[in-house]
Amino acid sequence: MHDGAKIRVMEFIYPSASRLRFNSDGLNTDQPDYFDIADPTFAPVPLAGSFVRWMYRRFLA
Q: How many independent structural domains does the chain possess?
A: 1
Quick one: pLDDT at residue 2?
Answer: 54
Quick one: pLDDT at residue 60?
Answer: 73
pTM over 0.75: no
Q: What is the mean pLDDT of the chain?
A: 81
Q: Which domain holds residue 55?
A: 2-60
**Nearest Cα to Cα of residue 40 among 1, 11, 8:** 11
Does 8 or 59 have the greater pLDDT score? Answer: 59
User: Whole-angstrom distance between the N-terminal and C-terminal Cα of the chain?
Assistant: 23
- DSSP, residue by residue, the chain: -EEEEEETTEEEEEEEEE--EE-TTS-EEE--EEE--HHHHHTTSHHHHHHHHHHIIIII-
| CA 1/CA 35 separation, integer angstroms | 10
